[in-house]
């Protein structure tokens, strides 16, 4: 289970401003994108599977999911764990002039005043789901 964030280039201020047939501007060649992301994150991304780069933060992890080759016009960031996972996403998007769509909120993350509502909501949902699974197995979620 992950909190998903879609990364793209867009001129729109809101997701609702994007036309239904919108095709994001290219982010770049997949191989070059891996190099640039690795450089930005201090070479901490494991690209052993070129389509699924993994970065383990102190309390969270990111999985960067995009094609192994060719031009990439967007990618999905699968976020797991806890802590402040939003600030590095904001920093990355500002650095590369990208937009981040919080899949749980259906809107761009405001890079100037980022909300953690989507991330916080995901963690609450996950914790409830895990607690219910523990309860169903006869284990205590406490």
Residue 107 resides in a domain: yes
Q: Can you give the pLDDT at residue 130?
A: 87
Residue 141 resides in a domain: no
What torsion do the CA atoms of 18, 19, 20, 24 make, to the nearest 10 degrees? -60
Residue ranges making up the domain that contains 103: 3-136
pTM over 0.85: yes
pLDDT-derived band at 139 (thresholds 50, 70, 90) equals low
Domain count, the chain: 1
- Distances from the Cα of 122 to the Cαs of 58, 75, 103, in angstroms? 18, 20, 10
Q: Can you give the pLDDT at residue 140?
A: 45
pLDDT tens-digit map of 32-48: 999 999 999 999 999 99
The DSSP string of 59-115 is SEEEEEE--SSSEESEEEEEEEESS--HHHHHHHHHHHT-EEEETTTTEE--SSS--
pLDDT-derived band at 141 (thresholds 50, 70, 90) equals very low
Residue 142 resides in a domain: no
Q: Is the pLDDT of residue 138 over 70?
A: no
Residue 47 resides in a domain: yes
Q: Can you give the pLDDT at residue 118?
A: 96
pLDDT, average across residues 67-79: 97
Residue 40 resides in a domain: yes
Q: Return the SS3 of 25.
A: strand
CATH code of the domain in which 50 resides? 3.30.310
Residue 102 resides in a domain: yes
pLDDT-derived band at 131 (thresholds 50, 70, 90) equals confident
pLDDT tens-digit map of 75-126: 999 999 999 999 999 999 999 999 999 999 999 999 999 999 999 999 999 9
């Amino acid at each position: 289970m992950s909190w998903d964030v879609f990364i793209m280039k867009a001129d729109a201020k809101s997701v609702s401003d994007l036309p239904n047939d919108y095709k994001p501007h290219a982010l770049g060649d997949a191989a070059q994108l891996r190099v640039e992301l690795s450089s930005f994150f201090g070479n901490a991304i494991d690209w052993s599977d070129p389509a699924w780069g993994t970065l383990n933060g102190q309390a969270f992890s990111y999985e960067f999911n995009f094609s192994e080759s060719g031009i990439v016009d967007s990618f999905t960031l699968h976020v797991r764990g806890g802590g402040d996972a939003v600030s590095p996403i904001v920093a990355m998007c500002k650095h590369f002039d990208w937009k981040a769509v919080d899949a749980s909120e259906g809107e761009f993350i405001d890079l100037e005043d980022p909300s953690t509502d989507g991330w916080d909501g995901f963690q609450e949902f996950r914790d409830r789901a895990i607690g219910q699974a523990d309860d169903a197995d006869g284990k205590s979620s406490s």
